[in-house]
Amino acid sequence: MNQLEHLKQHTTVVADTGNFLQLAQFAPQDATTNPSLILKAVQQPDYRPLLDEVARAHASLPLDERVDRVLVRFGLEILKVVPGRVSTEVDARLSFDTDATVQRALRIMALYEAAGVPRERVLIKIASTWEGIQAAAVLERQGIRCNLTLLFAFCQAVACGAAGVRLISPFVGRIYDWYKKNQGARWDEAANAGLADPGVQSVTRIFHYYKQHGIPTQIMGASFRNVGQILALSGCDLLTISPDLLASLQASPDAAPVVLKAGTGAAQAAVSFDEKAFRWALNEDAMATEKLSEGIRAFAHDARLLDTLIEGVR
């Protein structure tokens, strides 16, 4: 077996891409998308006709509805390849509006259901703001499963678990990026690799906390910068991995032994966060505050670019 096959024995492997034509070679269980990945895909000749087709077919609809139809169309194509679920993201510009997030999620799910896709094959992706977590709680009670993304802080993970969220996506690579940039010339790559990687340590803490306290929310490590980060989280519930890193794993003959095992972490006391405590804990974590804001801005920027492409279709 290659390293990817070894990893699949312990962890559900998810492809992090909008390029559905690439998926079959890696045989992932699920796939995740976001506006940035869809934007990247539709700038390629293999995918641009799909955007044009959907935009022309629904030219009379408001722009936000045309955007959702493009996102869902990509999701439908992905679901033809993967046997499991696809994550489709609510517009990041709604990250601080609970009601609007719920309504947008309901519309996305209605589009999937109209195409014959059952709810259990779709995860609605929402930023892990306080408002986003509350929206997810509403949706989960209606049987709509959510993937809470842009998760950097422990308080976000705890609040998601309390809200009954189906899955969270802690961003390993972006945490690593922040600490590396923050330390500058003092950064020691070797000393911060593998289990010492700050992004790996964040996911590891959440994993053991959830398992110790019987929280059923699934943990899907995301945003990897190198294979070492992936291997250090072997045993995590799920890992969503970009095509280039999937290819690296597939090309390696090495094993991928289990690292994360339930019942092996240091004991952690149960904690809870109401809105005030959540906002304070997030504020006290400079890395999480900066990366969450930065991530929302970046997704919103790419959403605007996607809007422009769709508006330009005649």
State both tokens at 309.
């492409």
In the residue annotation, 125 being an active-site residue is answered as yes
Mapping DSSP to helix (H, G, I), strand (E, B) and coil, where does residue 149 land?
strand
Nearest partner of 176 among 165, 166, 187, 168, judged by Cα: 187
Sequence-distant (6+) residues with CB within 8 A of 239 are 7, 11, 12, 13, 14, 220, 221, 222, 224, 230, 233
Give the Cα separation of 263 and 209 in Å (integer).
10
Out of 8, 80, 125, 180, which one is annotated catalytic?
125
Kindly report the length of the chain: 314
Q: Is 135 exposed, middle or buried (0-12, 13-18, 19+ CB in 10 A)?
A: buried
The string of DSSP codes covering 188-229 is -TGGGSGGG-HHHHHHHHHHHHHHHTT---EEEEB--SSHHH
Give the Cα separation of 29 and 25 in Å (integer).
12
Compute how many other C-beta atoms are within 10 angstroms of the C-beta atom of residue 297.
Answer: 13
The single-letter code of the amino acid at 19 is N
Give the Cα separation of 160 and 282 in Å (integer).
14
Which one-letter DSSP state was computed for residue 27? -
Q: Is 72 exposed, middle or buried (0-12, 13-18, 19+ CB in 10 A)?
A: buried
Taking 3-state DSSP, the helix, strand and coil percentages for the chain, each rounded to the nearest 5, stand at 55, 10, 30
Residues with catalytic function: 125
